[in-house]
Structure 1
Amino acid sequence: MNRMPTFDRIQLADGRNLSYSLSGAPRGRPVLYCHGMPGSAYEVAWGACAAELNAVSLIAPERPGYGGSEAHPAYSFERWAEDVAFLLDHLGIPCVDVLGYSAGGAFAIATAHKLSKRVRRLILVSSVAPYDSPGCFEGMSVSNQEMIRLARQDLVQLESAIAPLATMPEQMTAHFIQGLAACDQSLLSSQPELCEILGKNTQRALQQGGAGLISDLALLVTDWAYLLSGIAMPVALWQGEKDHSVPPAMTSFLSKQLPTAELHSMPEAGHLLRFSHWEEILRQLSDQTQAGS
């Protein structure tokens, strides 16, 4: 079911290195995968074979400060879209579907907004919404709320809090798992390989310290609701109703802002919906592709 992705890197126009992974079907339908927070291109190791069976080619770039991608002192959603366009040009890919998981959803939305002519379909799985959206903190874990509060009030203090954790990926993974819903805990108990992949994903995400995490949070606490405007391509929203990291209210907000959105709400799923329902997500994508939508 799972397979190690192939990693590579390119030099961007401004001289930075951008790292990315390729997995799934080499000649399949290209899907740009926007990883979580903290996250890396290793995230796609789970379900790579399923992607291949569904004729999907996964391209997973790592955001600045994560994995092998160089940090940027003044990153923006606009710059992210520029990086994605550069990568797609390098790979000779004119159009893609874009899938964003968790915090990666904001960057998937930015891609769809800025590169609308190159994005065929947007898939948001357990995606964050702007942090000022109604009810977005209801049911969210206390640790996530505290991290967002610090990012809003004092980035220097946030960096100080994250710095020691960034040197201990095992502890950060354990802390993440502790905050998950019971259904997610059950999934991990039954899938030890998923625990291993999550651990390696965090380890790769933090190999430069907390730079990527700080960069993400600095952007996510800004007012980025404007990115939701003008998105006219088909949108699929996937949400677990027992998600403690990204509460259902966030997806509810997104569904109201995105007129072409189709909502898939999973009553017994949590934040690990991307892993527990991966084959279902891919099947829907494959079915829509065959139907020509």
Structure 2
Amino acid sequence: MSSFTTSSTSNKSVADGTCTLDDGRRIAYDICGAKNGHPVFHLHGWPGARTEVSLFAVQAAELGARIIAIDRPGIGLSTPQPRRTVLDHALDIRQVAKHLGLKEYSVMGVSGGGQYALACAFMISPEELRSVALVCGQGPVEISLRGMKFGNQIVVRGFQYCPSFIRLLMHGVSWTLKLLNMDRMSNESILQRVQTLNRWNLLGVPEMDRKVMADPDTMLAVITSVREHFRQGVDGCLEEGRITTSHLGFDLRDVKRNVRLWYGREDTDVPAAIGEEIARQLGENSTLRLEDATHLSLVVDHQRPILEDLLDAAGYRRIAMAED
């Protein structure tokens, strides 16, 4: 277990709820938005956690969505599940839905949550899973990395061909952060350092993302989510890397329902080319939207149209109007 864990004073240490699964594992979740709105499972990024849902709280409440964000196994407050697959996690989502008494719901996979959303589209019936969206979501590892920045390509190829090196690297980073007392710093102190680096453009992020990072509330949400991702150490993150660079366990051509795809033309973390290839493999079972956005700006600045489209695809707005 790595030493890079978060202190209980630095971020949220209690989940809104937990679900004990059939095998005894625990899945933690946070909920935001409209109390009686259409349920949407938010599948967090990598590295990310259930607290990422706070980014969507305002828009969800306004649009009538009840967003449920869950920690994947070994992340945040959820029990580890060694050697799991994306299909295993789709089964977890069904159990959480049953625990919450949900007969129908939607799924939104953001960034590293993309593969899990695709697994849900493959495994769960349309009568239960009403709509699916990928927001700059990762796809099958076989897809070309064209357009992805070099650092991300190194991580992907490292997990594929030399995972022991990535493990050593991550443990080294965690020990370095501990030596710098970063694990004991408050989120606000980390935010000040990030904003200083951002102000001098030392992080090398695109201009659109720099504008998003200038907002303190957004960045505190991101920092909290990343730190919660490492609450149990680096093992959960390493397991995510293994899964991300493994075969999905199914063919996208076997997905028999529409999947909404949202990608940014300026995204170099999960480039638009990945979304285009996913759309090609899904064929008529996809709706691709390309926006003039980068990775972070797509998630933050395009929340409203993404949620509106997801709710429309679920038939929620039509049903709500009929009730009126």
- Taking structure 1 as the reference length, the TM-score comes to 0.89
Structure 1 position 202 matched with structure 2 position 226 = yes
CA distance in 1, matches of 2:136, 2:223: 20
The residue matched to 1:78 in structure 2 has which SS? helix
Aligned-pair identity (%) = 27
- Residues 152-192 of structure 1 deviation map (CA, whole Å, 9 limit, x = unaligned): 11222221111243464759x96999353221112222x22
Q: CA deviation at 1:225?
A: 7.0
C-alpha contact 2:121 2:259 (8 A) present in aligned 1: no
Structure 1 residues 77-86 or 24-33, which shifts more? 77-86
- CA–CA distance in structure 2, aligned partners of residues 125 and 20 of structure 1: 20
Matching residue within 259, 283, 303 for 1:278: 303
1:181 match:
206
- Aligned partner of 1:86 among 95, 99, 112: 95
TM-aligned CA deviation for residue 283 of structure 1: 2.6
Counterpart residue identity of residue 234, structure 2: G
Please name the residue that 1:233 is paired with.
257
Task: Give the Cα separation in 2 of the matches to 1:222 and 1:287.
Answer: 33
Q: Secondary structure at the match of 2:66?
A: strand
Cα distance in structure 2, aligned partners of 1:275 and 1:67: 22
Offset at residue 12 of structure 1 (A): 1.4
1:120 aligns with 2:130: yes
In the alignment, structure 1 residue 37 sits paired with structure 2 residue 46 = yes
Q: Which moved more, 1:46-55 or 1:153-162?
A: 153-162
Shift of 1:265: 0.8
Report which stretch shifted further, 277-286 or 16-25.
Answer: 277-286
1:225–1:179 distance in 2 versus 1, CA, 3 Å? farther
C-alpha distance in structure 2 between counterparts of 1:227 and 1:26, whole Å? 36
How far apart, in 2, do the equivalents of 1:8 and 1:199 lie? 21
Contact preservation (8 Å) 2:106, 2:310: no
Write the distance in 2 (CA, Å) between the matches of 1:237 and 1:78.
20
Q: Deviations over 1:96-115 (max 9, x none)?
A: 11100011010011111111
From 149, 156, 162, the counterpart of 1:154: 162
Q: Is the 8 A contact 1:37 1:103 kept in 2?
A: yes
Tell me the secondary structure at the aligned position of residue 226 of structure 1.
coil
Stretches of structure 2 lacking an aligned partner (at least 5 in a row): 1-11, 178-182, 184-189, 320-324
Relative to structure 2, which stretch is displaced further, 198-207 or 114-123? 114-123
**Structure 1: how far apart are the matches of 2:237 and 2:88?**
17
Aligned pair in 2 of structure 1 residues 62, 237: CA closer, same or farther (>3 Å)? same
- Of 17, 24, 43 in structure 2, the residue corresponding to residue 15 of structure 1 is 24
The structure whose RCO (Cα within 8 Å, separation 6+) is larger is: 2
Structure 1 unaligned blocks of 5 or more: none
CA contact (8 A) 2:87 2:119 kept: yes
- Say if 1:274 and 1:67 are closer, same or farther in 2 by CA, change over 3 A: same
How far, CA to CA, are the matches of 2:235 and 2:84 in structure 1? 11
TM-score after normalising by structure 2: 0.81
2:306 alignment partner, SS class:
helix
Larger Rg: 2
C-alpha distance in 2, partners of 1:163/1:260? 41
Secondary structure of the corresponding residue to residue 170 of structure 2: helix
Give the drift of 1:218: 0.8
Question: 1 CA distance for matches of 2:15 and 2:237?
Answer: 23
- Aligned-partner Cα distance in 1 for 2:212–2:85: 35
